[in-house]
Each structure stands twice: as C-alpha cells, then as structure tokens.
Amino acid sequence: MLAVSFLPAVPADAAVLVLLSGPGDGLAGPAAAADAASGGALARAATAARFEGEAGSIVELLAPAGLSCQRLLLVGTGPAEKLDALTAERIGGAITARLLTSGETAAHVDATGVLNPEQAAHLAHGGQLRSWQFNPYRTRLKDKQKPSLAQLVVVGVPDAAGPHARLAAIAGGVARTRTLVSEPPNILYPESFVDKALDLAGLGVELIVLDDAEMRRLGMGALLGVAQGSVRPARLLAMRWNGTGRDDVKPVVLVGKGVTFDTGGISLKPAAGMEDMKWDMGGAGAVTGAMHALAARQAKAHVIGVVGLVENMPDGNAQRPGDVVTTMNGQTVEVINTDAEGRLVLCDAIWWAQETFEPEVVVDLATLTGAIIISLGHEHAGLFANDDGLAEQLRSAGAAVGEKLWRMPIGEAYDKLIDSDVADIKNVGPREGGSISAAQFIGRFIKPGVKWAHLDVAGTVWATKPGAVHDKGATGYGVRLLDRFIADNFEG
Ligand code: BES
Ligand code: MN
Ligand code: ZN
C-alpha cells in the first residue's frame, strides 16, 4: 500500500505534480501559478480536454514546458461545498488509479489553500485504499504491469497528519481483510486463517482459539456438521479489544461467517464460478480487519470479534441432506440443503459468543445468500435487525464511509417458513425471500434482550470491476463500516 506523507512545500525535484481545481471560472491557487509558469498551457489543456472540475476528473500533461515536473495532473474537486470526506477519498483514489502503474514512484499533491486538514487526510486515505493490490502469485508480471507508485505526498496542509494517522490505522485493517479474502482456498483454511490473525496480539488484541475437540465438548453440532466433510479441522477464533480502561463495560460482539471454501457440500454447487466461493469467509475477514483497525487506532471501546471457520466439502464423511444436528443451545436443525451452511456456522458461533461475553449488541456479517445479490445487486449489503435504533446506527455508519446498507424486513410470518416437520428448525425456507428466512434462522439464536443485526454481505465483499477506492477483487467491505459504527456509538 502507498506510503503517505505531508510536506509544507513541493520539493524542486518533484516528478509528478498534482494540482486541484473545482468547477467555475478558471484556475486558482497552485493551479493558476502553474498555468502562468507554463505560459497558459494548463488552461489550454483543460479546455481541450473539456475539463469542468468534476470530482476525480483528470487532465494529464507530460513534460510540460516551463515547469520542472515530468508529469502534471490537473484534478477536479467538484464544488467546494460538496467536498466531503467521501468525495476527497474518491479524488485520492482517482489520482492513485491513474498513476499506479505509470512508472512514477511518487506524487506530490499541492493542496495549499484548497483542502482543509480533514479533506487532505481523506484524500490520502482514498489514495491508500485504491493502491492496494494482491499480486503474490503473479510471478511473471511485466515491469509495466507492476504498481510503481509507492508514495503520495500531500503538500501545504500540515495539520492533516493527525487525522490521517487514524485513517491509516483503518486502512491497515482494510488491507488485512482484503488479503484474507484474496488468498486462495488451498492457502487460507480454518487453521491458517487463525495463524494469519495471531499477529493481532502485537496490536494488543487478546486471542482465544477453540479447536474441534473443544467445540465438540461445547456441543456445537451445527458448526461441526458443516466441517465434517473436510479434512481441514474447524476453528473458532475470538479477538478481544478493550480500549475502555475498565473491565465492567459490556462488549459489542461482531461475528463473521468464515467458510474458507464453500463447495455446497453434498448439495454441490455447479462448477461455473465455484472458485468465487473462496471469498465465503468475507464476513470473518471483515470482522478480523475491523479488530485490527480498532486496535491500531486505540479505540476507546470494548469489542469482541468472533469468527467461525470451516470448509464446506463433500467427502465420504460429509453431512447429508436430511441429517439432524444439535446446536450448542440444544435446538435441533434439519439440514435440508448442505449448501445453506453459513447459518449453521453462525448459530453456534453466535450462541457461544453470547454465553461467553454477555453482550448487549451483536452484529454478524456473512456472505450468506445469493438471494441478497438478486435483491440489492452490489451497491448495498442487506441489513436485518431486531432493533430500529441499532439498524439506524449501522445504516448511517455505512453511509458515512461509503459502505452502504439497505434495511430488509424480518418477522413472524417469515419465521414460520423455517419450521421443520422433524426437528425444531430447518436450514432452508422457500426460494422466495431466501435472504430473509436465512436471517430468521440466525435470529432464533439471539437471546432475549440482545440487540442484533445481521449484514448479508454476499454482494459487496468482491468486485469484478474497480471502484473509487478499490481495485477489482476484494473490497474490504465492512471494516470501515464497523469501525465507524463503534466510533460513533461506543466511544462516547
Ligand atoms: N455462500 C453462499 C452464498 C453466496 C452465493 C454468496 C453466491 C455469494 C455468491 C451460501 O452458503 C449459499 O450457498 N447459500 C445458498 C442458500 C440456499 C441453499 C438456500 C444460496 O444462496 O443459494
Ligand atoms: Mn453455501
Ligand atoms: Zn456459503
């Protein structure tokens, strides 16, 4: 990821100069000065390119006469009154995307008199987020294809370093999540997921790991039923961050679905696209990255992340459609479809978390249903909640960071759909409203009085196209949302 720094002035030898301009009449500030030095070339280029100062639009000049830089980018900011944190991030992302494989190694953004510290910090944040790529297995990349840009220097806004430090901690969490989500499933499986989280201890996170024997002792028959078709043993990982300085503060519990690969089990998925199911641990990845972010910025909150880690495989020992499993809280589940495995993992992980940590608030994240993608596409994740206040806290946190949520209904009538004729519950309802009956299933494992929200992130953890602050591939969805949710509601 791009290194960010802040300087008072542009050094004479800066190779790439980035100047900012909003819509309206003509260039101002550093852009006007560069235009004058270049004999009006900048303004002529802007006109020729039909540049109108829209946020993130770019005009690029190579070897501009009269200036000492090798490359000049004129970048639109949009109207000043609309330059909020997300817009600043989008601008930083656009600059980075343009330069990432340009051969340039550093870019200097002269924001003197244009951006305030908060805006400058978010511009740099957007640049860092957009620069992340996952290339460890691409051993034959040509030099031209490799990211060259290593440094983003924001000039003229010295007070931006403070707000940026906090955002850099969050970006570290996002990067961790994206790496977890991107790793292939032969590399990332329950045990290796745990191994890759152990270094969180260095940030002050306390780790608790349950192995399969311990989970059997605790009676987690639903989670273990999913894992039994795989040679990879299951794990449950809890990550605790208490930044309150007190031990009597009830924690917020975040729970993530960590299916490191989902073949569907005996209810086998079709071959086409099955490789995508490596990111069926995106909820667990987000929870882990959020714990990183909270610890790295020393959040003044008590938060526990719990991830249920299994691989859903169809071997001779795999569970069958028709099996009845007993969950940790004693409810029996008829497994109608072994591909509806996420809820089986979550129910035991969530029950254990409630028994162990006695939270007042539980938020789970899961790539739970294909149906949520049919409902919401890739713009919003689905939000299900038993409490309107909690739902609104999450929705507004998501809106603030650009990780959008859309509220979905739950209720009695939907709940009936998962009553079983042979057990207490069945693990699938009808095809219609499939995301909702999945949520109802989880809801049956929430203790009375606990505020609970479920985020179905199946459509948002992976992107087939680049976005404003991510490349194609793992988005890191959920980390910034959870971080903001904690910051706004539990650090008072
Ligand atoms: N991991 C999948 C959900 C999923 C599908 C995520 C496509 C991302 C893209 C989940 O375990 C699953 O298979 N769900 C089934 C449920 C069905 C069997 C009731 C689904 O959505 O088809
Ligand atoms: Mn599945
Ligand atoms: Zn799944």
In the predicted structure, residue 406 carries a pLDDT above the cut 90 = yes
Residue 492 has pLDDT above 90, yes or no: no
**Nearest one of 84, 60, 58, 82 to 71, comparing CA atoms:** 60
CA-nearest residue, atom 7 of ligand 1: 370
Average of per-residue pLDDT across 405-410: 99
Domain map (residue ranges) of the chain: 3-156, 168-489
Model pTM score: 0.98
Catalytic positions, written as ranges? 269, 343
Write phi, then psi, for 56 (nearest 5 degrees). 90, -5
Instruction: Ligand 1 pocket test: pick from 319, 339, 455 the residue with the most ligand atoms within 8 Å of its Cβ.
Output: 339
CB 167 within 8 A of CB 124: yes
Say yes or no to pLDDT of 120 above 90: yes
CATH class of the domain defined by 168-489: alpha beta
Q: What is the pLDDT of residues 316-375, one digit of tens each?
A: 999 999 999 999 999 999 999 999 999 999 999 999 999 999 999 999 999 999 999 999
> How many angstroms is it from 262 CA to the middle of ligand 3?
5
d(CA 486, CA 298): 12
pLDDT digits (tens, 9 = 90+) for 266-311: 999 999 999 999 999 999 999 999 999 999 999 999 999 999 999 9
Whether the per-residue pLDDT at 52 is higher than 90: the answer is yes
In angstroms, what is the span from residue 263 Cα to ligand 2's centroid?
7
Q: Would you say residue 434 has pLDDT above 90?
A: yes
pLDDT tens, residue by residue, 165-182: 999 999 999 999 999 999
What is residue 334's three-state secondary structure? strand
Ligand closest to Cα of 427 equals: 1
Q: Which pLDDT score is estimated for 25?
A: 79
pLDDT reported for residue 72: 98
Instruction: Tell me what pLDDT residue 298 has.
Output: 98
Q: What is the reported pLDDT for 124? A: 98
Distances (CA, A) of 104 to 17, 60, 323, 359: 11, 13, 59, 49
CATH of 3-156, one of 3.40.50.880, 3.40.50.1820, 3.40.1350.10, 3.40.220.10: 3.40.220.10
Q: How confident is the model at residue 195 (pLDDT cuts 50, 70, 90)?
A: very high
Query: Averaged over 13-30, what is the pLDDT?
Result: 95
For residue 322, the model assigns a pLDDT of 98
How high is the pLDDT of residue 191?
99
Average model confidence (pLDDT) for the chain? 98
In sequence order, what are the residues at sequence separation of 6 or more whose Cβ sits closer than 8 angstroms to the Cβ of residue 4? 124, 127, 128, 151, 152, 153, 154, 164, 168
